[in-house]
Homo-oligomer: A and B are copies of this chain.
């Protein structure tokens, strides 16, 4: 294990200690320790953000009480809220995880507006990065393999939020050692211990099983892949040149395959097409060859991708109807 004193407490690169910062604090070991480390580093203008997702009953209420009392003890402002995530998931026909993420980011944006502060710190660690990568690889449509970034800028509800994850390269065991050494008090996350959710199963069962089968700790390999693919994704983003509503087919055809795919992915997103999958993108790519016999591809929500007179465009109305994701094509 590395010397955690130097890993956990470097100043945030490029962020002066006088900057006002939002810190998401669940009350768990990661976010409570990050808050502690930030204070150690001399950051003082911190506002704690805590969202009760209504997912864990009394434990969640106790978490909220804990974080509020922590803020009081540290004499720091706190913004807390409660959202009924299960109800949101039902209403919007989302998975619990997606609904929770959406509720969280809406809350962050509101807090950013309220405080006029545009920088948010999240305590995701290297284990989270490895686990998320494996989760996206095994569950995803293959279009989102790059890992979380140490710094991203995200536009949410008209708010431009800078999101920093200073602990993406710090392992959970290192945070645990730090928390023990610093005698940090935190709340055990009840959902972490339960193997119900896929995310927790990846953490508690799948990664230990794979490490045993391969006879090595596989987390660094997953972490590296997430990091490498994040950089490739950034490069793809920066190389997007075709960003119009209709795409010129000859120009698209001339691109490298990787960039064709990325261009089509961004194009479908611009048109708010849901459930963008690798298979769908490959289907649209069959419209590109100059002698292509197909000129129309069905999209979800009763729309079509059409090629006509050298242009690729979306035909039909995008209705806000949700279609259950088709079983993975074998």
Contact = CB atoms under 8 A, between A and B. Distances in A.
A198 interface: yes
Contact of A145 (B140, B225, B234, B259): B225
B228 A261 contact: yes
A204 to B, nearest CB: 11
Contacts of A328: 216-217, 220-221
B228 A214 contact: no
A295 interface: no
A324 interface: no
B330 A217 contact: yes
A105 interface: no
Contacts of A261: 228, 231
A23 to B, nearest CB: 27
B205 A140 contact: no
A137 interface: yes
Contact of A142 (B221, B259, B329): B221
A201 interface: yes
Interface string A201-232: 10001100110011011111110110111011
A14 B256 CA distance: 20
A137 B231 contact: no
A137 B330 contact: no
A261 to B, nearest CB: 7
B140 A221 contact: yes
Contact of A218 (B138, B171, B225, B234): B138
A221 B257 contact: no
A257 to B, nearest CB: 4
Most chain B CB atoms below 10 A, which of A137, A225, A232: A232
A95 B58 CA distance: 55
A278 interface: yes
Nearest to A327: B216
B278 A258 contact: no
A138 B138 CA distance: 13
Contact of A206 (B213, B222, B232): B213
Interface string A157-182: 00000000000000100000000000
A217 B327 CA distance: 10
Given A206-B210, A206-B213, A220-B328, A142 B258 contact: no
A222 B137 contact: yes
Interface in A305-330: 327-330
A139 to B, nearest CB: 7
Contacts of A224: 141-142, 278-279
Interface of A: 1, 137-143, 145, 171, 198, 201, 205-206, 209-210, 213-214, 216-222, 224-225, 227-229, 231-232, 234-236, 238, 256-259, 261, 278-279, 327-330
19 contacts: A138-B214, A138-B221, A140-B221, A141-B224, A142-B221, A142-B225, A142-B227, A142-B228, A143-B228, A206-B213, A209-B209, A217-B330, A220-B329, A227-B278, A231-B257, A232-B236, A232-B258, A234-B256, A234-B257
